Structure 1
Amino acid sequence: MSPNWHPALSHAWAWDTNLPARYLGLYRAEFYSEVLSLGTARYFVIPYTLFGCLLPVLYLSVPHRDRLWLRSARFVVALGVVLLNWEIIRSGTSSASIAVSYATGLVAAWGTVWGVGLVLCVDVQRGVARVRVRERRGGGWAGEGGADRLTGGEEEEKKQAAVADEGELPPREYEHYWETYPEDGGFFKRLAWVWDLFSSFRGIGWNIAIPSVPHPRPGVDLSAAISSMPLKSPTGFHRSTTYRAFLANRLFHLAWSYIVLDLWTITARFDPYFVPGPSPAPSHALPPALAPLPASVLSLLRSAAAAAGVLAALFSYFNFPQLVAASLPGYNPLWQHPSIFGSFSANILDRGLAGLWGGWWHQSFRLGFTLPTRFLVRKGVLLEKGTLTKLVGMFIAFLLSGIMHAAGGYTSIPETTVIYTPVLFFMLQFVGICLQSGLGWAVFRMIGDVPRGWKRAGNLVFVVAWMHWTNGLFIGDLSRSAIWLFEPVPFSVLRAVGLGPKGDSAWRWDREYMPRWHWGTHWWETGVRI
């Protein structure tokens, strides 16, 4: 909707401290023009925008075991998911909120990957189960099939035990068990079961959990498996043992990420690279602090700033939901809320680029990305283990990740995003992993094993160099999508104490950040607009 250069915003070779606000105003004005005047865009409205994502939940909530025709309908449902989500992307659905405009495509693409994966690649109603707990009264179990919740003073006793024992239960009174699909339960019980699965992206607490997080192993006594579960996975994802430690850890990450995001908005966002995005010729002058720097140094600073912004956002937006989820009533033990990122040293230093993406990164979408490969293994197309299976799995995962982020750029307000650059960035990560693996093999063949310190140094240098060389494809497109103009914190502490541009309010969220009711022309266009 907006080119990199706009006549109303051209201040060539004169640094403009209002540059972010000017572009934000332009993007919002153009979005409303396309919605209200041209009719080429429409609002992100709940529930309509999420129909394609939620269709698998409704479908899987209906038992299929004795209904062959309904089980066969999974192909129709998968096609419906693809078409509904494609319609959201294609139709110009977006939002005046910069982050929501990007998230529109991201959600639609992820809803397609995850929904189709659960419908076609996993036998949800026969082979998937979640960890639950039931209580024993007298000589038997309470309720048919065991009770899912505790009552009265026993619930309080369980909570007290959880404080010191991370939710593990007295072995003679309670037992953990795998709860399979509640086929004989009512519709709402099945709906709750399926929704729990659908919202558990990493599969924690389910028998299909990703291997990089601490989780009980299927096929063994479950209570024993949970009580002996390691505090840290081989890739460094750790779990808290007390609610006090969990609270302290999550609040610490929220605090530092909040400050970093706040600082980011009063520093890096005044570099034109992060506002209209990279362009062949500069249409806006650099801030005085950046103007004298050589191009190579400026490029490194931009890479560092982008990494800081992305990491702070991920730590902030993933840790907060964990705090909320862990405080909800019912069976919600701490081991189901492991850390967001893995170990830096065990992954990046010891494994290089493969460790960065396969062990250190947050892994939130890993289960969905690996479902196609699991399906091919189950069908005998690929072996369960082997180099080819690993390569195919990596290729599919990076391709899907690139498509997801490209969809986010496509639904953003500016039309200056380049749809292939996020895909190219993620595919280059696949190439980089193969290249580093090949270089490591060649070095070993020539000189044999090398000291661990040298290996770690080489891995770190390769990761930093490769990410710096390739990240412009992704970070530049984030800039063109205007994602950096989003206000990540509602209240700016730094502005409140006098830092930041003169005249900036400490309160950062305006009415565009608030949900509101929208009456559409058609019934499906009516709902909560964000």
Structure 2
Amino acid sequence: MAEAITAREVLDQILFKYRAAIDVGEYQPFVWPHRALGPYLLIFYLLLPLSQSPVVHYARYPLFALIIYLSVSAIRDCRSPGVTLGYGIGLLNTWTILWSATLIIFNDARRDYKRIERQERLDDPPDVQGLVENIQGNTSALDGSTTDGLKLLHPVGELPEPQPSVTDNLAPRLHSPEVFAAQEPVPSSSQEVYTWQSLPNDLFHRLDFVLDLVTNFRGLRWTHQRPGTYPPPQHIRETLTNPETPASLHPNKYPSYRILFTTNFQYFVLCALTLDTLKYVTSLDPYFLAQGQNTPSPFPVAHTVRLTLSLLFTFASLLNIFLLAPLILACTFGPRLLGPHASTWLYPPLFGSLSSIAEQGLAGLWGGWWHQLFRYAFEAAGDYVGGKLLRLPKKSIPGGIVRVFVAFVCSGMLHGFASYTVLGDTKPISGSFLFFALQPVGIVAQRALSIYLKQKGYREAIPPWMRKTGNVLVVVLWCRLTGPLIADEFAACGIWLYEPLPVSLIRGLRGEGWWRWGGEWVRWYSGDRWWRSGLVFLGG
């Protein structure tokens, strides 16, 4: 009986394949920053000051064409010996195209997008007579301030004329029934003042604005924040929300930094232990070592076990990575270094409630429970195709179906190109792409059945617990049917060869070594032109 192959041996084979492909010119290494110009071009365009010039307005189209060219070239030409980095080449470059299209083609982010920002806090203004007396008795007021710290905004003896709110003409609306209508903020000693801020004039302020826009995919704190995500806390909504807006569908999960840290740290430790266990368990099955789905498995009911382990590994890996954001940015760096970017409400949970699956079935699985990181871009593409190109009303059945299909096709492209850029024996179209392209079929079919039962009067006769059980069963059966498409693709990519943690408790206790990271992570690459030189990342 042949000796079982190890993960280290598989990684060595991938490294050998990579070096051979580079030597013969079949592929090129992914060099930073030469191969990462697309996002920088997007940032550069968004940084341009607001202008009525048609040249600036229409420049976005050739710029977008250039971004597509650069991203497609990287997907076609570049590979990495690191399995996760190889997957990232396709994923990040495809995302660059989708996100650029969302911000400058499907929408005009420079003109229309606005962000919640805190204004300078002021004390309650005294009466006019008291203010005049205070100023007259205080020579320091001549330089525009008073001893109590109240900024003097108008000349002595002149009453300020009523000024329109900076938000009067903005009235930004979220893409949901919950409308954050901007109102005139009322300064007080007990309340901070917030407003909707459009693209600023100051360069450094604009840079912060644009970098936040480009990296904030879920739109937290922005006018394009997705429905179902956590709205601003009450003290912020009081200056932004009109009276008809519900108080909150999702109250702030982390009202303090202590709660934010303790909750996320507990999840992080639990995820780390889960990943360590999964890494050891999956190392026993050659399927997770990129050896193919037809290899013998040490587990009974191999297909079901492999699918379940793949789901758990995917969920724990994503959650573990994104838990680092609140722990590092909010709790470690904090507001002293990051200012409002470290606010606790900007770090809500990545995944939703499992109850969404019981309530809505497949629609709840993808729209409620699974992470919504890329949702806005997918929906923007669907709105553009269904609305602007096909002129289908959003609330019509054809319009809704088109938008759902376009959104999942975009997701399929994102994951399909990601598997295309790894060195494993993958099938991007019949694997990842097909998996996501089939999801709207199940969603539409389940929705049609629900509508039919309701119209016939059968739905009300079914007890709520039975409907919820039926929704869960539909999700389980549908995932069992379509799940192997993406699970087999992930395994073929070699994704599960990566080491999620630097230290392994289980393998250390088994005498297989505690420290799991090592080798060369990055090196300098010298190209045939100076601009083609840069850093090549090898780890992962």
TM range (shorter): 0.7 to 0.9
The correspondence for 2:221, drawn from 205, 228, 245, is: 205
Higher relative contact order (CA 8 A, sep 6+): 1
The correspondence for 2:500, drawn from 474, 485, 488, is: 488
Change (3 A) 1:363 1:221: closer
Q: SS of the counterpart of 2:444?
A: helix
| Structure 1, unpaired ranges of 5+ | 1-12, 146-168
What's the offset of the Cα at 1:443?
3.7
| Structure 1 match to 2:513 | 505
CA contact (8 A) 1:131 1:176 kept: yes
Q: SS of the counterpart of 1:125?
A: helix
What's the offset of the Cα at 1:378?
6.8
| Structure 2 match to 1:286 | 297
Distance 1:232 1:277 in 2: 46
Cα deviation digits, residues 496-517 of structure 1 (max 9, x gap): 2x13xx5x221111124x3343
Q: SS of the counterpart of 1:331?
A: helix
| Structure 1 match to 2:230 | 214
The correspondence for 1:354, drawn from 363, 366, 369, is: 363
Distance 1:474 1:141 in 2: 60
What's the offset of the Cα at 1:244?
1.1
| Structure 2 match to 1:447 | 458
| Structure 2 match to 1:471 | 483
CA contact (8 A) 1:487 1:508 kept: yes
CA contact (8 A) 1:135 1:173 kept: no
Q: SS of the counterpart of 2:193?
A: strand
Distance 1:131 1:31 in 2: 47
CA contact (8 A) 2:115 2:196 kept: yes
Letter in 2 for 1:76: P
| Structure 2 match to 1:104 | 89
Letter in 2 for 1:264: L
What is the percent sequence identity of the aligned residues? 28
Letter in 2 for 1:301: V
Cα deviation digits, residues 417-457 of structure 1 (max 9, x gap): 44332111001111111121123234442634211110111
Distance 2:535 2:242 in 1: 41
Following superposition of structure 1 onto structure 2, how do residues 48-447 of structure 1 map, counting pairs within 5 Å? Answer: 48-91=34-77, 93-137=78-122, 139=125, 172=190, 174-182=192-200, 184-186=201-203, 188-216=204-232, 223=239, 225=241, 233=250, 239-279=253-293, 281-282=294-295, 285-287=296-298, 290=299, 293=300, 297-326=301-330, 327=334, 328-332=337-341, 333-345=343-355, 347-375=356-384, 379=388, 381-444=391-454, 445=456, 447=458
Q: SS of the counterpart of 1:240?
A: coil
Distance 1:25 1:373 in 2: 42
Change (3 A) 1:491 1:424: same
Distance 1:221 1:141 in 2: 25
CA contact (8 A) 1:81 1:112 kept: yes
Cα deviation digits, residues 196-251 of structure 1 (max 9, x gap): 1000000001011111102259xx97635499985653xxx963111111111111
Letter in 2 for 1:276: A
Change (3 A) 1:320 1:470: same
CA contact (8 A) 2:503 2:514 kept: yes
Letter in 1 for 2:73: E
What's the offset of the Cα at 1:107?
0.3
What's the offset of the Cα at 1:64?
4.7
Distance 1:229 1:223 in 2: 14
Letter in 2 for 1:520: G
Q: SS of the counterpart of 1:330?
A: helix
What's the offset of the Cα at 1:364?
0.2
Name segments (4+ residues, structure 1) moved above 4 Å.
137-145, 169-173, 226-232, 376-380
Cα deviation digits, residues 141-181 of structure 1 (max 9, x gap): 79999xxxxxxxxxxxxxxxxxxxxxxx9764631111100
Change (3 A) 1:40 1:135: same
Distance 1:306 1:121 in 2: 35
Is residue 31 of structure 2 the alignment partner of residue 31 of structure 1? Answer: no
- Please say which of residues 475-484 and 52-61 is displaced more in the overlay: 52-61
Give the structure with higher Rg (CA): 2
- Please say which of residues 377-386 and 454-463 is displaced more in the overlay: 377-386
CA contact (8 A) 1:81 1:116 kept: no
Distance 2:536 2:231 in 1: 38
Distance 1:142 1:257 in 2: 54
What's the offset of the Cα at 1:276?
2.3
Change (3 A) 1:522 1:352: same
Change (3 A) 1:207 1:484: same
Letter in 1 for 2:288: F
Distance 1:305 1:221 in 2: 42
CA contact (8 A) 1:134 1:175 kept: yes
| Structure 2 match to 1:157 | none
What's the offset of the Cα at 1:44?
2.2
| Structure 1 match to 2:7 | 20
Cα deviation digits, residues 28-67 of structure 1 (max 9, x gap): 11112212x2122222222122211331111111135222
CA contact (8 A) 1:135 1:142 kept: no
Letter in 2 for 1:509: W
Cα deviation digits, residues 84-128 of structure 1 (max 9, x gap): 10000011x122221111111000001110012111111212211
* TM-score normalized with structure 1 length: 0.82
Aligned length: 469
Q: SS of the counterpart of 1:30?
A: helix
Cα deviation digits, residues 312-353 of structure 1 (max 9, x gap): 0011011112322323531132111111111111x1011001
| Structure 2, unpaired ranges of 5+ | 126-149, 155-162, 164-186
- Please say which of residues 362-371 and 383-392 is displaced more in the overlay: 383-392
What's the offset of the Cα at 1:376?
5.4
